[in-house]
Structure 1
Amino acid sequence: MIEVETCRAALLGSAERDVWRAFQAADPALASPYFSLGFLDAMSIVRRDTRVLVIRESGDIRGFLPFHKGALGHARPLGGPLSDHHGFIAAPGAVFDLQTVLRKAGLKVFDFFGALGTQTAFRDHAQEVDGSWVIDLSGGYDAWIDTRSAVEPKAFRNLRARRRKLEEETSSFRFRINDDRPDVLAKALEWKSAQYRRTSHFDVFSVDWTRKLIDTLLGGGLDNTSGLVSSLEINGQLAAAHVGMRSDTVLHYWFPVYDPAFSKLGPGLNLLLEIARGLSADGLNEIHLGPGEYDFKRELASWQFPLASGYATAPSLAGAARRIADRIENAAESLPLGVVSTLPGRAFRRIDRLAAFRAA
């Protein structure tokens, strides 16, 4: 029988942290910085609602589940809406019943939207299944280029043409894989905020904790996690930037942005390829591009790993309310009303997304 303890990151002792590191090191599926202790510590600095479940059996730690504790026992994954990947940090093959874990932790609802689909605890409650695209650099940059060029010859011809155009039609250009200039970070986040507003998406950097998180990740000193800003300058002007985070072996491709004035030169893709080249030489094995049906992800990625979205509830009024909301959404979407039938679901998701960003 399992026992579940809820605690703050700062209260994890050295023994618990050693077990966490051992779990992460033993399972390649947990190599992302999202599963590192450093990301937990960074989130605990910027959000007071950060917690972690410690799951024990016969006194031995079997797993951890980091999360954000909301009102009325509502839990969300660590990192909130910025978390593309989440799940249990446990030994390979470990199996948990998510409802039992929630009940023993006193939690009523757990919403997830990028949980590892390989973990049965989430797969059993999944309503949607997606995949996260992966650039595999484990054999080196040249091996990845050769393999993907054979599969996507047209796409890689276009990439080579864009690189030639960059070399031939500019007086100068410079890549920086690790660009620590504050003005570059500021400009990258300014551009990203403008892009969110232009495309009618919520500006994730309009809330304090998201920017503080980036600063914390870039500040260094975290366990197997660090922020990374990369840039491309063309003719002395910033043309593209990427703000991401990495573990020892995985870069999470997080916030890419470029100046549309340079779009014909493919600044974003040129920067991504240079990041792959540079970090491959620095021991990086994978770049996680996240989910989404984008041509560049499909063309560059070597493979995908499954992600699950859904929710689990423990017996409670909050759990019943979550299930009722889900039934309303499903019933509305089954009606032959066109776009109108999606409105309840869109409203619920928007409310939940805003609540997740505003929590602290």
Structure 2
Amino acid sequence: MDVTVLRPDELTAHDMSAWRAMQRDDPALASPFLSPEFTLAVGHQRATARVARLSEESRTTGFFPFERHALGSGKPIGSGFCDCQGLIHRPGLDWDPPELLRACGLALWEYDHLAPEQTPFETAGTPRVRAASPVMELNGGHHTYLERLRPKVLRAARAQERKLARDVGALRLDFHTPDPLLLDTLIRWKSAQQRSKGRRDLLSQAWFLAILRELFDLPSASCSGTLSVLRAGEAPVAMLYGLCSPEVYATWFPAYDIRFAKYSPGILLHLKLAEAAAERGVSHIDMGKGASRYKDELKTADLSVTEGYVGRRTPGAVLCRLRMASHRTAHAAINASPRVHRAAVRAVGAVDRLR
């Protein structure tokens, strides 16, 4: 197998076409986070971004997007905000992960949202944790999805919808609104929500906003930043910025106007979104890894994503593993104390602003 390492902006039109074809041929690769457009947008903001193009006898067989850091440490493209990771490949392709890492100049590759059916990475590496990524299944149509929900959840949502319609106005969902002013409003809502919970706010970082805006309303079937807006009357009460492919709507940043919090507008938005997405042929809405009440109420299944790493037998890989272990120890200590955690989040935000 031949491996050529490129910067994302060195991908050719032929590369992009072959990449998209591989996604179409394998439902496990359908996530917009695995699209060439996502990799290009990250590459425009992160100098560490690379793509390995795999080929056999002049035939392209796969693409491996990654980021290369100090000591040969590798991470997925968009590490920290990418909800699906792995190698995009032709059906049936087998690969040797240590040999792939060697060709990429990596000692170790660490992942936290490894896509399903990336067996070579899991077999050759050290999977640490399997986590659930809740999804709303739409492949049987919207009515089938509703039938899979717990009756209590659906009754409560319908009651909230009637109250909101009575108090404010009839509900309407715009599946995608290419309005940059509404996008700015969503960013303000979400940033305020993140700060109130003491979490790191990516949306306050100019480099990340550049990625988000590049993907916004992108005229591409394999990945388009989509702003879904739920209105009561003329008032936007909840919004969601997600990435959409023909098969998958990956939710990214949901938020709502806190003035309407008592109506559970986030749940109402997702239920309306399920109907609109099903009409467009989307097979499932991926709500992303992590526990949340609204995800537990709306999901009908879980995708299994994996956290772990794969490495070579080199001194650099040993150093990378030691650094990973120290980071995990530090994170555990920080998370054990709410006061220390809040201070750490403030410090990270200050460093991001300086950068």
Interval of TM-score (by shorter of Structure 1 and Structure 2): 0.7 to 0.9
Q: Which moved more, 1:12-21 or 1:119-128?
A: 12-21
8 Å CA contact 1:42, 1:222 repeated in 2: no
Among residues 280, 285, 288, which one is paired with 2:286 in the alignment?
Answer: 288
**Who is 1:186 aligned against?**
184
How far residue 29 of structure 1 moved from its aligned partner, in angstroms, is 0.6
Deviation of the 1:237 alpha carbon: 3.3
Which residue of the partner structure matches residue 91 of structure 1? Answer: 90
Tell me how far 1:315 sits from its aligned partner.
Answer: 3.8
Unaligned runs of 5+ in 2: none
Contact 1:33 1:250 in 2 (8 A): yes
Instruction: State the Cα RMSD in Å.
Output: 3.0
3-state DSSP of counterpart to 1:82 = coil
Residue 140 of structure 1 corresponds to which residue in structure 2?
Answer: 141
Gaps in structure 1 of 5+ consecutive residues: none
Instruction: Note the C-alpha offset of 1:112.
Output: 0.8
The one-letter amino acid of 1:8's match is R
Question: In 1, distance between residues paired with 2:45 and 2:72?
Answer: 21
Distance 1:276 1:74, change over 3 A: same
**Alpha-carbon separation, structure 1, partners of 2:137 and 2:130:** 22
Cα deviations by residue, 1:300-350 (Å, 9 ceiling, x for unpaired) = 2222221111122234443212222345578899xxxx968969xx9xx98
2-structure distance, mates of 1:93, 1:163: 47
Q: Which amino acid aligns with 2:142?
A: Y
Check if 1:212 corresponds to 2:210.
yes
> Do the aligned partners of residues 357 and 49 (structure 1) sit closer, same or farther apart at CA in structure 2, a change above 3 Å counting?
farther
Q: In structure 2, how many angstroms separate the alpha carbons of the residues matched to 1:155 and 1:196?
A: 26
Using a 3 Å threshold, how does the CA distance of structure 1 residues 219 and 166 change in structure 2: closer, same or farther?
closer
Alignment of 1:110-125 (within 5 A): 110-123=109-122, 124-125=125-126
Q: What is the aligned partner in structure 2 of residue 46 from structure 1?
A: 45
Q: Which amino acid aligns with 2:318?
A: A
2: CA distance, partners of 1:331 / 1:175: 44
Contact 2:217 2:226 in 1 (8 A): no
Which residue of the partner structure matches residue 317 of structure 2? Answer: 319
Structure 1 distance, partners of 2:69, 2:303, is: 29
How far is the alpha carbon of 1:239 from its aligned partner? 1.7
1:267 Cα deviation after fit: 0.9
Cα gap change, 1:265 to 1:39, in 2 (>3 Å):
same
From 142, 150, 154, the equivalent of 1:156 is: 154
TM-score, normalization by structure 1: 0.86
Answer whether contact 1:95 1:119 (CA < 8 A) is retained: no
Query: 1:70 deviation in Å?
Result: 2.2
Name 1:226's counterpart in structure 2: 224
CA distance in 1, matches of 2:323, 2:34: 30
- Tell me the residue number matched to 2:9: 10
Q: Residue by residue, what CA displacement relative to the aligned partner does 1:255-312 show, whole Å, maximum 9, x if unpaired?
A: 0001222112111111111111112212222111111222332332222221111122
CA spacing shift, 1:108–1:261, aligned 2, 3 Å: same
| 2: CA distance, partners of 1:38 / 1:245 | 11
Secondary structure of 2:290 counterpart: coil
1:134-161: CA deviation from partner (whole Å, max 9, x where unpaired): 2111221112112x13xx1222221222
Structure-2 residue corresponding to 1:64: 63
Q: Which amino acid is the alignment partner of residue 293 of structure 1?
A: A
Q: Closer, same or farther in 2 for the Cα pair 1:222/1:47, shift >3 Å?
A: farther
Distance 2:49 2:211 in 1: 13
1:318 counterpart letter in structure 2: G
For these two proteins, the number of residue pairs brought into alignment is 346
- Which residue of 1 is the match for residue 198 of structure 2? 200
Task: Find the partner of 2:164 among 143, 150, 166.
Answer: 166
TM-score, normalised by the number of residues in structure 2? 0.87
Q: Return the offset for 1:66.
A: 0.5
TM-superposed CA distance for 1:45, in Å, is: 2.8
Aligned to 2:241: 243
* 1:209-255 superposed Cα distances (whole Å, 9 cap, x missing partner): 21111111114234521111112233543321111110122111110
| Aligned equivalent of 1:106 | 105
Q: Judging changes above 3 Å, is the alpha-carbon distance between structure 1 residues 179 and 221 closer, same or farther for their aligned structure 2 residues?
A: closer
Question: Which range moved further: 26-35 or 215-224?
Answer: 215-224
Q: How many angstroms apart in 1 are the aligned matches of 2:335 and 2:141? A: 48
State, as a whole percentage, how many aligned pairs show the same letter.
Answer: 30
Alpha-carbon deviations, 1:49-71, whole Å to 9, x = none? Answer: 32101123344333211012223
| Equivalent in the alignment of 1:252 | 250
* Structure 1 Cα separation of the partners of residues 116 and 181 of structure 2: 39
Cα distance in structure 2, aligned partners of 1:325 and 1:205: 27
Q: Counterparts of 2:80 and 2:328 in 1: how far apart (Å)?
A: 22
SS at match of 1:40: helix
Q: Distance in 1 between matches of 2:245 and 2:50?
A: 21
Question: After alignment, is 264-273 or 228-237 more displaced?
Answer: 228-237
| Conserved 8 A contact 1:37-1:223 | no
